[in-house]
Structure 1
Amino acid sequence: MPTTSLDPVLITGCSSGIGAATADLLVKAGHTVYATARRPETLADLEAAGARTLALDVSSEESMATAVKEVEAQHGRVGTLVNNAGYGEYGTIEETDLDKVRAMFETNVFGLARLTQLVLPGMRRAGRGRVVNIGSMGGRITFPVGGYYHATKYAVEAISDALRNEVRGFGIDVVLIEPGLIRTAFEEGVHATVASGAGSQGDSPYAALLASNAASTSASYGNSLLAAGPESVARVVLSAVESSRPRSRYVVTPAARALIGARTLGGDRVWDAYIKRQFKA
């Protein structure tokens, strides 16, 4: 661990997946890590590995403020914040329950933003700090049936870009991690939200698209050339945390880089043709 390391590291959403893998890797690298989750009992393995654990629900102001105060009481400030907590609410734009969409924005966007607000004063006083936001390739490209989830990740892109230039003068870096398909419980969540949504009814005008999406999602996550394990993201986060000059963006997985490049260079016609072929839309 370099002497320039910005500890302690506070990580949200550590009960499984990317958050758990990241907390575990940073602990093994010698960092002081606060692993958090809504249900702290899910963090037993990380605590046994050496992480400090806290309850933190990013949809609760009280929970966020309490967690930040506890870290600051021990260390003076949060050195690095890794905003990882998030989930996907999937379905078509027409049929998805907007109350569920609002709840997703509360976690994926407003929770991220508020927790960042809470740690920034301490970072400014210290004259250094780092905010690492876990975005997605889905903040640069958009697939059907995932429009509202993509909207949250596009929002994280905008927040990260604005914040990076607002806090640079205070010695604070902002880094955006953009994973591609990562094998976690996320795929199960995608299928579950679609299955429970209005579009699950057999008479949905989007039934064929939803079925095609389910098949394509399963095939993509099952393809070792397209999907990777959460440890691949954890390694990139470790690099971003330890680098003396971190990049503003890190795209994780070759497939994600290829898709983002195709979307950027090909324009709407090329992308729409790819979507039509992929989803038989």
Structure 2
Amino acid sequence: MKFIVVTGTSRGIGFELSKLLADAGYNVLALSRNEEPIKSIAHKNITAFPFDVSSSEDREKVSKYLKDKNGKVIALINNAGILINKPFLEITEDEFKSVYDVNVFGVASMTKLIVPFMDEYGHVLTISSMGGIQGSAKFPGLSAYSSSKGAVLTLTELLAEEFKESGPSFNALALGAVQTEMLEEAFPGYKAPVSAKEMAEYIMDFALKGQKMYNGKILQVSSSTP
């Protein structure tokens, strides 16, 4: 079976993306700590089970599932992420580490897990943030989040170089503000110019076709300049 693997599918972009891919006929492996929202739509093309990207035990479950299905992965979309909005002097060491566990180490571990199930035409797409782009506008309180999003951009470039002879391709999208639950939690009352579904449509198209034109690239997906 051929799959597209999406992390962080309980809400926002990941939820909308999973539905769009499934409606287009792709088998979607939707992974999130809370699988109930995506399971509740009961889509025949979506397989979902509880999954924490920072858990080695949960990652092993994914590996076993793909092996049992003799699965091939067309694309991995590293979408899972957490955000803590807290002044640098107030954020605890455990809180800072928790952001990196998901946003950086989770991405690295998930990628390491899935790449063996891909061929040279596969695409590893990591969802990052404009906050991780050097020279872009920065916001106080996001020291852990934005620095973690910068780390995965460099990781994307490194992996593209390491796998350039054999594939798959690696790219990252640095998103601007999108109207999601996470944005509302970080900046209550702020209204973004782009909906989660609109961004999911863009990500879907790029995940399926972007590797034909790009590898090791960071694309800024924002209607405003840095």
User: Could you tell me the TM-score, scaled by structure 1's length?
Assistant: 0.72
Higher-Rg structure is: 1
**Equivalent residue for 2:149, pick from 153, 157, 160:** 153
Query: Taking structure 1 as reference, are residues 49 and 230 closer, same or farther at Cα in structure 2, changes over 3 Å only?
Result: farther
Cα deviation, residue 49, structure 1: 6.1
Question: What is the DSSP-based 3-state SS (H/G/I as helix, E as strand, rest coil) of the residue aligned with 1:227?
Answer: coil
For 2:28 and 2:143, locate their aligned partners in 1 and report how far apart those are by CA, in whole Å. Answer: 34
Cα deviation, residue 57, structure 1: 0.8
Cα deviation, residue 246, structure 1: 4.0
Residues 122, 167 of structure 2: 8 Å contact kept: yes
Deviates more, 1:128-137 or 1:41-50: 41-50
**Equivalent residue for 2:203, pick from 203, 228, 237:** 237
Cα deviation, residue 68, structure 1: 2.6
**Aligned residues with identical type, % of pairs:** 27
Residues 177, 183 of structure 2: 8 Å contact kept: no
Matched, 1:138 2:134: no
Aligned runs of 1:72-221 on 2, under 5 Å? 72-123=67-118, 126-140=119-133, 141=136, 142-190=138-186, 217-218=187-188, 221=190
CA distances 1:84-116 after superposition (whole Å, capped 9, x unpaired): 110101112112112111111111111111011
Residues 2, 71 of structure 2: 8 Å contact kept: no
Question: What is the DSSP-based 3-state SS (H/G/I as helix, E as strand, rest coil) of the residue aligned with 1:182?
Answer: coil
Greater percentage in helix? 1
Cα deviation, residue 250, structure 1: 3.1
Deviates more, 1:237-246 or 1:56-65: 237-246
For 2:110 and 2:27, locate their aligned partners in 1 and report how far apart those are by CA, in whole Å. Answer: 19
Deviates more, 1:167-176 or 1:48-57: 48-57
Cα deviation, residue 136, structure 1: 0.7
Question: What is the DSSP-based 3-state SS (H/G/I as helix, E as strand, rest coil) of the residue aligned with 1:47?
Answer: coil
CA distances 1:38-92 after superposition (whole Å, capped 9, x unpaired): 1222322443363121222112101012113202321433221111110101112
Give ranges in structure 1 of 5+ residues lacking alignment: 1-5, 191-216, 260-281
Residues 157, 171 of structure 2: 8 Å contact kept: no
For 2:213 and 2:50, locate their aligned partners in 1 and report how far apart those are by CA, in whole Å. Answer: 29
Other-structure match for 1:201: none
Residues 58, 115 of structure 1: 8 Å contact kept: yes
For 2:175 and 2:68, locate their aligned partners in 1 and report how far apart those are by CA, in whole Å. Answer: 33
Question: What is the DSSP-based 3-state SS (H/G/I as helix, E as strand, rest coil) of the residue aligned with 2:91?
Answer: coil
Query: Taking structure 1 as reference, are residues 34 and 246 closer, same or farther at Cα in structure 2, changes over 3 Å only?
Result: farther
Query: Taking structure 1 as reference, are residues 246 and 71 closer, same or farther at Cα in structure 2, changes over 3 Å only?
Result: farther
Residues 88, 104 of structure 1: 8 Å contact kept: yes
Aligned pair count? 220
For 1:7 and 1:177, locate their aligned partners in 2 and report how far apart those are by CA, in whole Å. Answer: 24
Matched, 1:249 2:214: no
Cα deviation, residue 218, structure 1: 4.2
Residues 139, 157 of structure 1: 8 Å contact kept: yes
**Equivalent residue for 1:16, pick from 11, 16, 19:** 11
Give ranges in structure 2 of 5+ residues lacking alignment: none
